Every structure is written in C-alpha cells, then in structure tokens.
Amino acid sequence: MTQHARGTFEVKMAPLAQDAPAGSTHMRMSLDKVYIGDLVAMGKGEMIAIRDGDLNSGAYVAIERVTGALNGREGAFSLVHRGILNRTAQELSIAIVPDSGSGALTGISGVLDLKIADDVHAYDIAYTLPAAP
C-alpha cells in the first residue's frame, strides 16, 4: 500500500570545482538539506545544471543520499533528480533509486513531489515499504 510522508526542507547549495570554461552556463553544486516533518533527515548530494539566464531555460540532474527517519523508520535511501525548465514551463522528476534503501528503509520505492511557494520548499513522498520486521 502506498504511504505518504509530508513536510518541508531547507537546502544549501555551494559551487564545486568544475572543468567548464570561464563564462560557461554550466554549474556543479553541492547539496546539503535538512528535512523536517514526516521525514526527519539530512540529505547530501551533487547537482549538475545548465541555465540560460536571459531565456530562463535550463536543466539539472542530481543524486542525493538521505539519512534519517521516515515516519519513524530509521535508515537511508538515495534520490535521483531530473529537472527541465523551458521558459515558463517546468518538468520535475524525483524518484527513490531502486534498491538504495538501508536499515529499516530497505526495500523502499517511490517518488518525491516538490513544491516551492513563498521560498518554502515542501515535499510529499509517495512510497511503498515492506512491513517492519
């Protein structure tokens, strides 16, 4: 049965070293997140992005490892992010990486829906998880 976990998170991004030439629109960033709500966890990851500031178009991919407790079950899992912004339209896909769960989150699968309003990042994770041992 699909369950949901909802809450908010804070994210800090910092530039990482990259081989792109000066003036490039490519970026490589570290991700540090703090999840609050049904997921009490820390997220660490890396993002690669490209953006055209004049047209407000771009794309990003990221991998993130989340460690903490999801609805009281402790463990970790990984997320894969894919986002495309085409001027004013946005596509965003964030999924739990298959077989990435550990601890009490072994066997987790699902997707994370992200909403940003008034500078607040909110998540809704729709997931399945085997019964607790």
Secondary structure (DSSP) of the chain: --EEEEEEEEEEEEE----PPTT-SEEEEEEEEEEEESEEEEEEEEEEEEEETTTTEEEEEEEEEEEEEETTEEEEEEEEEEEEEETTEEEEEEEEPTT--EETTTT-EEEEEEEEETTEEEEEEEEE-PPP-
Question: Is residue 122 domain-resident?
Answer: yes
Question: Is residue 37 domain-resident?
Answer: yes
CATH number where 107 lies: 2.40.350.10
Question: Is residue 133 domain-resident?
Answer: no
Of residues 111 and 1, more confidence is placed in 111
pLDDT for 27: 87
The burial of 91, by beta-carbon neighbours within 10 Å (0-12 exposed, 13-18 middle, 19 or more buried), is given as exposed
Burial 8-18 (b: 16+ CB within 10 A, else e): ebeeeeeeeee
Tell me the per-residue pLDDT of 77-116, one tens digit each, with 9 for 90 and over.
999 999 998 888 889 999 999 999 999 999 999 999 999 9
Report the domain count for the chain.
Answer: 1
Question: Is residue 68 domain-resident?
Answer: yes
Range of the domain at 54: 3-128
Mean pLDDT of the chain: 92
The structure's pTM equals 0.91
